[in-house]
DNA sequence: CCACTATAGATGTATATACATACATATGAG
DNA sequence: CTCATATGTATGTATATACATCTATAGTGG
């Protein structure tokens, strides 16, 4: 179990932007993971269900672009969700493509998990304050876009 | 290989702060990984060398607190660095503890890799602009701290 | 139609990461 | 001092993640 960090080293800025970002991602992932625990969903799995719910049927490649996940990584990340019947796929007109969509069981699962996710969101937003929360979201989108132009 | 995202879906904000953060971390990690490739170091490995250089000799637990990495995760993440002779460890007064430090070979390795890391830093800073770069670093530190209080 | 080349995804392999649990050592109540 | 409990790390197991490479399919110039 991760120890509370408060009483020892209070994480200061790291000189490396990548290290800073990864560290924050670990910290926040742990918070969301904790809240989502009762649902049995990993944060990543919840994100995939939510993304498919938002996009509707979408190819593996486009889903990867939206989430900045290598499309070959998705081959494996999506497999357990399919195994549980929450998503399904079919071949597209272009038979190389795989089109994914949420099943109705998947939609129900997403709805079941949503309150736990909302609790995580509220918990972080409250600890951060509304202003920081907003600027976090904005700067993250800009960073994500910037890497594409860099 | 990750595809350029520009010409298809331009990553918009995700409703989930955790998903946003993880996505940005993936994007930025790929940029740093690309620049660090010639050195043979993974971004995480570079971060560990840099952190040990900054702290001097430190226990595994404290190192984990600083980087928000579970200390048992470090058991495995540090192993390859020790195998290559860049770090070494000894037992502390408290014999349960393991104290880690950079070797002189490790310091040389860090110096060798530094220019590549700096290239990555410059590349991201340039794409982001100085203001966004600064606010990124600040908000990330606050988020990391907030999870400890949340 | 045919040979090239390009693209979508699958598979092999490796690192990063956490949690549950196990083990060794420390520490405090008596 | 001695036992009960707490703490630091190691190990078993699982997910997340990427890249290199492979295969199947698509698109293109002749």
CA distances from A39 to A14, A35, A112, B16 (A): 34, 9, 8, 17
Q: Give SS3 for A79.
A: helix
Nearest CA of chain B to the CA of A7: how many Å? Answer: 10
Per CATH, domain A17-120 is 1.10.10.10: yes
pLDDT band at A2 (very low <50, low <70, confident <90, very high): very low
Answer for the pair A99, A91: CB distance below 8 angstroms, yes or no.
Answer: yes
Write out pLDDT tens, residues A39-68: 999 999 999 999 999 999 999 999 999 999
- pLDDT tens, position by position, A17-42: 999 999 999 999 999 999 999 999 99
Q: Which residue would you say has higher pLDDT here, B102 or B7?
A: B102
Residue B87 pLDDT exceeds 90: yes
% of chain A beyond a pLDDT of 90: 89
Size of interface A-B (CB pairs under 8 A): 243
Answer whether A79 touches B (CB < 8 Å).
Answer: no
- Give me the pLDDT at residue B31, please: 96
Confidence at residue A1, expressed as pLDDT on a 0 to 100 scale: 44
Report pLDDT for A13: 86
State pLDDT tens for residues A133-148. Answer: 999 999 999 999 999 8
CB A98 under 7 Å to nucleic chain C:
yes
Q: Which of A4-8, A115-119, B39-43, B125-129 has the lowest mean pLDDT?
A: A4-8
Distance CA A101, CA A51 (A): 10
User: Which sequence spans correspond to the domains of chain B?
Assistant: 30-114
CB A144 within 7 Å, strand D:
no
Phi, psi of A7 (to 5 degrees): -85, 15
Check CB contact of A117 with chain B, cutoff 8 Å. Answer: yes
* Listed residue (B44, B96, B94, B34) closest to B67, CA to CA: B44
Say what the pLDDT of residue B12 is. 82
Taking residues B113-127, what's their average pLDDT?
Answer: 96
**Residue A76 has which token pair?**
């494996």
Res A9: pLDDT: 54
Q: What is the CATH number of domain B30-114?
A: 1.10.10.10
* B51-69 residue pLDDT tens: 999 999 999 999 999 999 9
Q: To the nearest whole percent, how much of chain A has pLDDT over 70?
A: 93
Task: Select from B8, B14, B127 the Cβ nearest to the Cβ of A146.
Answer: B127
Give the contacts of A110 (CB within 8 A, at least 6 positions apart).
A46, A49, A50, A53, A102
Chain D: bases < 7 Å from a protein Cβ: 7-12, 15-21, 24-27
Interface residue B55 vs chain A (CB under 8 A): no
pLDDT at A149: 79
């Amino acid at each position: 179990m991760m120890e509370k960090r408060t009483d020892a080293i209070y994480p200061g800025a790291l000189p490396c932007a990548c290290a800073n970002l990864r560290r924050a991602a670990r910290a926040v992932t742990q918070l969301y993971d904790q809240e989502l625990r009762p649902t049995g969903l990993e944060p990543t799995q919840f994100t995939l269900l939510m993304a498919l719910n938002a996009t509707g049927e979408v190819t593996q490649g486009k889903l990867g672009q939206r989430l900045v996940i290598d499309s070959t990584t998705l081959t494996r990340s999506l497999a357990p969700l399919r195994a549980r019947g929450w998503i399904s796929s079919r071949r597209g007109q272009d038979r190389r493509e795989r089109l994914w969509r949420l099943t109705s069981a998947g939609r129900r699962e997403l709805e079941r998990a949503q309150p736990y996710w909302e609790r995580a969101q509220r918990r972080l937003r409250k600890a951060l304050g509304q202003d920081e929360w907003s600027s976090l979201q904005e700067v993250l989108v800009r960073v994500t876009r910037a890497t594409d132009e860099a």
